Chains A and B, each alone.
Chain A
Amino acid sequence: MIELENIRKSYGSGENRSQALRGVSCEICGGEFTVVLGASGSGKSTLLNIASGLERPDSGCVRYDGLDIACLSDTDMTAFRRKNVGFVFQQYYLLPNMTVDRNVRMGAELAGKSDYRLIIDAVGLGGKLNKYPGQLSGGEQQRVSIARALAKMPSVLFLDEPTGALDEETGRQVLDYVSGIQREWKFTMVMVTHNVNIAEMADTIVLMNSGEIIERRKNERRKSAFEIGW
């Protein structure tokens, strides 16, 4: 379980100071799919960065099964991310001069895994091992990015607007893959999005506005990527 307690974060100084998070507290249950929903500037990406250990809060605690990661040194924080966290970015950020196989291997080596090709198969790219990112569509690139994150077998997978750069059909496909794998492998998944419909796929929805959580609710039933609107 991830516990966020009274997290505050601001950027800039003086007149330009803006508060991204204003004392946010919430719990993310292990093995669940949680969607953080909010408009642009609501603080959802900052919350994701802090929860994943990419960024430190100004104050407050981020506990992973009781361990407060906000107090870790830079080296320990890197080691923590290495062991526990997978990250999927909106813009994929694949290494353009490496094949699909190499990009996924980048994640697998962190976990000392040699059977990472099963994950490439799981995201439906088993036939494109030797393709370069430039030879793939946007949706395929995002699936490689997901495979790369999963190849390190993280206990928590964070996704920052993973369908933000994709069209509807490709976006649905990507969500279908990632949601299916999460159900099967039962890891914790936290996704940030501004798309209200995607929230219907999650177990829990955290709604944010102006740096605060305004609502946290559970879905009665997780819908599939092809059942939701867009």
Chain B
Amino acid sequence: MKDAARLVGITIISFCAVFVCGLFTNYYMDISGIEAVLLPGKVAAFYNAQVSTAKVVCLVSGGCLLVTAVIMLAFYIRSYIETHKRELGVLKALGYSNMGIAGRFWIFGTSVFIGTGAGLAAAFILMPEFYSIQNSDGILPEIAIGFHPSILILFVIVPTAVFAAMAVICAFLRLKRPVMSLLRGSDRYVVKKGRGIEAVDTPFIRQLGRDTLRGRKSLVFFVAFAAFSFSSTTQMSTSMNELSSPMMGAMILLIGVTLACTALYIAVWTAIDGSKRTIAVMWAMGYSRREWGRGILGGYRPVAYIGFVLGTIYQYGLLRTMVDIVFRDVEGIPAYNFDMQALVVSLVCFAAVYEIFIYLCSRRIIGDPLREIMGE
């Protein structure tokens, strides 16, 4: 149950992906139906812009979230196998085949099913409001909400099946190692050839930060993604006030902040959970919470700010593309310029959220250090 709860990250990502893509794909399919009755000229230009918007949102957001979900699933499976390698080793030693064990990992697909199902349901709940806003312009004929079974198949059933299969394959590949390597469960560090001798003068805490970063590269992605989501969506939601409805802005903001918090929590939780013993030893020796926090999590701070910069560039590029290319032929589209005020507000909010989040998570996750070193 505890392991299943950790899959909530995939559920949230799936929810967001299908919510956005479901909403826009449904709209795209409904709007496609009126193409034949359109008049050429300005109306057609507006129509084309709406269709392009739906496509861009689906491809960019859906694509980003799909890649994130795939990486997250692979990360979870790897993490699950590393955490439970002794139990899995015992099963292998008892004679269970790799496929026999890996086959059970289909259950990971249920988190995708819950997320995508809920995402599609939420999209349908919001659809009347969304359609009424789109129809309020009165430029295009009234568009009615239609139910397209292909969306259900494409966004719920297919991802669930694909992710379940992916989970089984990932697990199978990771289980292809000798039984003893799983049973031993040692945390032996593999010294890589050619690795130079460490700089002698680097203080211990700084070196710990570097090593943690080096040893957990996958977390770099999650931290960068969290900052990227926060930066792009908070700035986009305020910058696009004049370009879109407040509902769209709020929706983007909510999704972005949810994704950012989820990814950040996963990163912080994994970094601390994987370093519990180090933290416990440091605690026993007399290192303060602040010191071990700096050692374990400090290395990720620069990564977070790089992610923030990338998010800023991404949101500017996306809005610029929408205004300059997609809505090029549509009249009345306001000019779009880089919003410096939005950047400053977003940066200040991100810095505050990041530091508070890390402080609170690290306090909660570490639990009882004594149990970690004495409780085995």
Contact = CB atoms under 8 A, between A and B. Distances in A.
A133 B278 CA distance: 14
A130 interface: yes
Contacts of B374: 45, 49, 54, 160
A143 interface: no
Interface string B185-197: 0111111000001
Interface of B: 186-191, 197-198, 200, 203-205, 207-208, 211, 214-215, 277-278, 280-289, 370, 373-374, 376
- The 9 tightest CB contacts between A and B, nearest first, are A82-B286, A96-B189, A134-B188, A81-B286, A97-B189, A93-B281, A109-B204, A97-B211, A106-B204
Given A45-B374, A99-B198, A107 B285 contact: yes
A113 B191 CA distance: 28
Given A134-B188, A134-B191, A83 B286 contact: yes
A81 B285 contact: yes
Interface of A is mostly: helix
- Find the residue from B278, B282, B285, B288 having the highest chain A CB count within 10 A: B285
A197 to B, nearest CB: 24
A122 interface: no
A189 B326 CA distance: 76
Given A49-B374, A54-B370, A78-B283, A132 B288 contact: no
B370 A87 contact: no
A49 to B, nearest CB: 7
A110 B198 CA distance: 20
Contacts of B373: 89, 93
Given A45-B374, A93-B373, A134-B190, 12 more contacts: A54-B284, A79-B286, A82-B287, A83-B286, A87-B285, A93-B280, A97-B211, A98-B207, A101-B200, A109-B204, A135-B191, A152-B285
Nearest to A151: B285
Contact of B285 (A101, A105, A110, A130): A110
A86 B285 CA distance: 7
Nearest to B191: A132
A23 B198 CA distance: 49
Contact of B288 (A75, A101, A133): A75
Interface residues of A, number: 38
Nearest to A131: B191
Given A54-B370, A99-B198, A132-B189, A109 B203 contact: yes
Interface in A88-126: 89, 91, 93, 95-99, 101-102, 105-107, 109-110
Given A55-B370, A134-B190, A93 B277 contact: yes
Contacts of A96: 187-189
A78 B207 contact: no
A85 interface: yes
Interface in A143-167: 148-149, 152, 160
A105 B295 CA distance: 14
Contacts of A109: 203-205
A19 B353 CA distance: 44
Contacts of A87: 284-285
B284 to A, nearest CB: 5
A89 B278 CA distance: 13
A89 B369 CA distance: 14
Nearest to A48: B374
A107 to B, nearest CB: 6
22 contacts: A45-B374, A78-B283, A78-B286, A83-B286, A86-B285, A93-B280, A95-B278, A97-B215, A99-B198, A102-B204, A102-B207, A105-B204, A106-B204, A106-B282, A109-B203, A109-B204, A109-B205, A110-B285, A134-B190, A148-B285, A149-B285, A152-B285
